[in-house]
Amino acid sequence: MITAKGICKYFRKPDGGLFTALDNVDMTVHSGQLAVIAGENGSGKSLLMRILASLERPSEGTVQTEGDIGLVFQDADSQILADTPLEDVMFGLRSRKDLRKTEMRDAAMKALEKVGLSDCADNPSHLLSGGQKRRLAVASILALGRKIMIFDEPYSNLDFPGVKSVNAIIKDLKDNGYTIIILTHELEKCLALADRFMVLNRGKMVFDGEPSEALSLDLEKWGIRNPGNEISDLVWI
C-alpha cells in the first residue's frame, strides 16, 4: 500500500518567493490495485513519483509504503547501465551480498523470462526497442523482489506494438498482485486496466475516483484529451 498525506513541495524562485509544485496532495493506493494518475506536462506527476519513491523529500507531508518502490522512467535509456540485458539485471542484484554469481545469473534470467526478454539476454542493450527497454526496467525491478511499481509516461515514443508489449507486462503484474501506478496523459491506452483514476493539475489532486467516471469528466480543462470511448475499449493489448 502507498499512502501520501498533505504532500507539498516548494521551490525557491529567482525573486526569492516560493513556487508551489505540489499542493497538499492526499492519495492512497491499496495493495494489488492499479491506479492511473493523469495530468498534462508540468502537473507534478513525475515529482510526486520521486517523492513516493523517496528519491526526493517533500517540503511538507508524509509518505508511507509497504516495501520499496520500483520505478520505470519515461526515458528508458537512463535506466540501462550495462551492455546487455542480462548484465543490466545482474548489476542491480550486486547489492544482494547473499547471492553467488551463478545465483544472480539464474535470478536475472528468470526475471528476463517473465518479461519476454530471455531470447535477447546477451544482445546489445542499445539495440532494444523502446518497449523492450521498458520491459528490461521491469525485469530489474522483479529481480530485486519489489512488489510496488510506478510507470512514468510508459507509452512515450512507443509505436502500437511497443504499447501492447508494455501493457501485456503491466496486466500480468496486476494479475499477480503487484501494486501499480501509471502516470500518463494517454488514457486511451490503459484506463481499462485501472482500479482507480486520479487527476493532478498544477500540483493539486483535483479528482480521485472510479475509472469509469473519467468518461463523464471535462478532462480538457485539465489539459487531458478525453478518450470518449467505452471504458472497456480503453486499453491497447
User: Per-residue pLDDT tens for 132-189?
Assistant: 999 999 999 999 989 999 999 999 888 999 899 899 999 999 999 999 999 998 899 9
- CA 96 vs CA 81, 102, 107: distances in Å: 17, 13, 11
- The whole-model pTM stands at 0.90
Residue 237, pLDDT above cutoff 90:
no
For 62, the 3-state DSSP assignment is strand
Q: Which residues contact 13 (CB under 8 A, 6 or more apart)?
A: 19
Which residue type occupies 193? L
Quick one: cell of 83?
551492455
Contact 47, 22 (CB under 8 A): yes
Sequence-separated (6 or more) residues with CB below 8 Å from residue 93: 99, 104, 107, 108, 143, 144
Sheet (strand 69-72) strand order? 69-72, 148-152, 179-184, 34-38, 196-201, 204-209
Mean local confidence (pLDDT), 183-196: 92
Q: How far apart are CA 81 and CA 122, in angstroms?
A: 14
Region 105-111: mean pLDDT is 93
Count of helices and strands (H, E) across the chain: 5, 9
**C-alpha span between 60 and 6 (Å, rounded):** 7
Residue 23 is predicted with a pLDDT of 96
Is pLDDT at 214 greater than 80 in this prediction? Answer: yes
pLDDT of residue 194: 94
Share of the chain above pLDDT 70, in %: 100
Mean per-residue pLDDT, 184-196: 91
Mean pLDDT of 18-24: 95
Q: How far is Cα 55 from Cα 166, in angstroms, rounded to an integer?
A: 24
Q: pLDDT tier at 19 (50, 70, 90 boundaries)?
A: very high
Please report the sign of the dihedral spanned by the C-alpha atoms of residue 88, residue 89, residue 92, residue 96: negative
Cell readout for 65 is 509504503
Output the average pLDDT for the chain. 91
Cβ atoms within 10 Å of 233's Cβ, excluding its own: 12
Give the phi and the psi of residue 154 in degrees, each rounded to 5.
-70, -10
Quickly state the pLDDT bin for 3 (edges 50, 70, 90). Answer: very high
> Is residue 228 pLDDT above 80, yes or no?
no
Do 227 and 187 contact (CB within 8 A), yes or no?
yes
3-state secondary structure of 134: helix
Q: How confident is the model at residue 131 (pLDDT cuts 50, 70, 90)?
A: confident
| Residue 67: pLDDT over 80 | yes
Burial tier of 41 (Cβ tally within 10 Å: 0-12, 13-18, 19+): exposed
For residue 43, how many C-alpha atoms fall within 13 Å in the half-sphere facing its CB? 24
